Amino acid sequence: MAKIKTRYICQHCGRETNRWMGKCPECGNWNTFKEEITDKKGRPKEYITAVNKPANINEIDLEGEIRFSTGIGELDRVLGGGIVPGSLVLVGGDPGIGKSTLLLQVSAALASGSGKVLYVSGEESLNQIKMRAQRLGLNSKELYLASETNIDAIQAYIESIKPAFVVVDSIQTAYHPDLESAPGSVSQVRECTACLLRLAKGSGIPVFIIGHVTKDGSIAGPRVLEHMVDCVLYFEGERHYIYRILRAVKNRFGSTNEIGIFEMGDSGLKEVKNPSEMLLSGRPVGVSGSVVVSSIEGTRPILIEIQALLSPTTFGMPRRMTTGLDYNRVILLMAVLEKRIGLNLANQDAYLNVAGGIRIDEPAVDLGIAAAIASSFKEIRINPLTVAIGEIGLAGEIRGVSYIESRVKEASKLGFNTCVIPEDNLKGLKNVEGINIVGVKTLRQGLEIILGG
């Protein structure tokens, strides 16, 4: 009888050792090593086939390697133009963000025009998946559902049905029968992903797998999981808001700069083809503390409203709260306003919000944040047709930003008549019809134009 081999594996980073250790020398976490069976039946023999033989790069034919559309334009954009045959794509995100909903919609769309689709769920029964499909209004004769967690059974389903597309929801529920560790452990996740990877590359069937995320926002399991797949897509957004952002953090077949924006409704996820117009709908008019900024998500410019509310504090320590903005960045900008502009904000509670539930991290919206704070503090209404763009330095200077032409064109397209930008960005900027472009060099100049316009 073959001897069972065991190893201690870190559940956070996948580090393997022959003995238990309290602290992982790789990631530094404590009490993460667990004993797992790594080899029960011995390693299978590797058989060399004709497929594994090296081929000259000039003799490889790419005519058959074409992408095919998912039926959802925003997803095609993030993938780089569509699904590549034989690719393995990992979709991650917070619970309830819409991962299963999106892939069920994609499965139904592909089953209506690209062939058979197999949707395997380890978390829901067939009746539950059917109920969700009915709620979303999805129905296709070529869509096959399975409730299974055994990876060998999943492979058998794929070999018998021969689908054109496979979805596994989720990889943390799948297990390999030769490993006695629990589903979701490092060895199980890694082995199941490796099985799906070999299947995708060997058969040319694209496979999408859903991965759970931990409380710090990373994919549950070892980081090696992200290195094994071809694409890693993250679903971002708050569950209490209707907008979702699909972002690619790894893509072997396209750029990682593109994002897809969706709106969550009763009938599932819908594409948002003009996010600026939707995010600015319902904007208040004639109220201080509201300003429009231009942010870049991927390569797409988006106009977003930033709101600020300042009120005298009733406690000794003023409160600072932000939603959708970097808290430390807002504190820094308030310090610049106090030191360089002379605004007495030390006794003011400050509340800042990005309308629509979108999160902004780029420094190009600094001028808009400062203008919203100053507008609320001085009770001065900002011209609703003005857009503020620029990064603020600690000396109160306005620094140049990237993609300035795209930002200005987006503002002009939506009917804005004034755009305040850094003076450095005026060099080489082409004139845009219908909008007045004003260059500023300091924060004081920018506030005088924005608050006085």
Question: Is a pLDDT exceeding 50 seen at residue 48?
Answer: no
Q: Which residues are annotated as a binding site?
A: 93-100
Report CA Rg, the chain. Answer: 26
State the residue range of the domain holding 189.
Answer: 68-273
Give the Cα separation of 130 and 418 in Å (integer). 51
Residue 253 shares a structural domain with residue 373: no
Question: For residue 219, what pLDDT band results from cuts at 50, 70 and 90?
Answer: low
Question: Is a pLDDT exceeding 60 seen at residue 95?
Answer: yes
Residue 242 shares a structural domain with residue 315: no
Tell me how crowded residue 336 is: count the other CB atoms within 10 A of its CB.
Answer: 19
Structural domain ending residue among the three candidates 273, 306, 325: 273
Percent of the chain past pLDDT 90, that is, above it, reads 56
pLDDT of residue 220: 54
Residue 57 domain flag = no
Residue 210 shares a structural domain with residue 284: no
Residue 260 shares a structural domain with residue 296: no
Give the Cα separation of 453 and 448 in Å (integer). 8
Residue 91 shares a structural domain with residue 202: yes
Give the Cα separation of 453 and 292 in Å (integer). 14
pLDDT of residue 47: 42
Residue 418 shares a structural domain with residue 327: yes
415: alpha, beta or left, given left = phi > 0 and alpha = psi -120 to 50? left
Residue 219 shares a structural domain with residue 295: no
Question: Is a pLDDT exceeding 70 seen at residue 177?
Answer: yes
Residue 380 domain flag = yes
pLDDT of residue 38: 62
Out of 51-55, 243-247, 323-327, which region has the weakest mean confidence (pLDDT)? 51-55
Residue 11 shares a structural domain with residue 114: no
Residue from 277, 276, 326, 268 nearest 106 by CA: 268
Burial annotation 141-160 (CB, 10 A radius, 16+ → b, else e): ebbbbbebbebeebeebbee
pLDDT of residue 197: 94
Helices H / strands E in the chain, number of each = 11, 21
Task: Give 65's contacts (C-beta < 8 A, 6+ positions apart).
Answer: 84, 85
Residue 327 domain flag = yes
Question: For residue 35, what pLDDT band results from cuts at 50, 70 and 90?
Answer: confident
CATH number at residue 434: 3.30.230.10
Structural domain ending residue among the three candidates 245, 273, 301: 273
Residue 255 shares a structural domain with residue 355: no
Structural domain ending residue among the three candidates 273, 304, 327: 273
Question: Is a pLDDT exceeding 90 seen at residue 267?
Answer: no
How large is the average pLDDT for residues 419-437?
91
Q: Parallel, antiparallel, or unpaired: how do β-strands 348-354 and 268-271 relate?
A: unpaired
Taking the CA atoms of residue 147, residue 149, residue 152 and residue 155 in that order, the dihedral angle to the nearest 10 degrees is 50
How large is the average pLDDT for residues 426-450?
92
Question: For residue 51, what pLDDT band results from cuts at 50, 70 and 90?
Answer: very low
Residue 55 domain flag = no
Residue 26 shares a structural domain with residue 110: no
Give the Cα separation of 209 and 206 in Å (integer). 10
Question: For residue 164, what pLDDT band results from cuts at 50, 70 and 90?
Answer: very high
Residue with tokens 């790419």: 62
CATH number at residue 78: 3.40.50.300
- Between the alpha carbon of residue 350 and those of residues 150, 320, 378, 383, the distances in Å are 53, 5, 13, 22
Half-sphere exposure of residue 115: CA atoms within 13 angstroms, side-chain side: 10
How large is the average pLDDT for residues 161-190?
88
Query: What is the pTM (predicted TM-score) of this model?
Result: 0.75
Residue 234 shares a structural domain with residue 348: no
Tell me how crowded residue 235 is: count the other CB atoms within 10 A of its CB.
Answer: 22
Q: Which residues are annotated as a binding site for ATP?
A: 93-100
What's the total number of domains in the chain? 3
Residue 218 shares a structural domain with residue 191: yes
Give the Cα separation of 256 and 251 in Å (integer). 6
Q: Enumerate the β-bridge partners of residue 264.
A: 269
Q: What is the pLDDT of residues 365-424, one digit of tens each?
A: 999 999 999 999 999 999 999 999 999 999 999 999 999 999 999 999 999 999 999 999
Residue 24 domain flag = yes
Which alpha helices (DSSP H) does 311-421 contain, by range? 327-336, 366-378, 404-413
Residue 301 domain flag = yes
Residue 53 domain flag = no
Residue 60 domain flag = no
Q: How far apart are the first and last CA of the chain?
A: 85
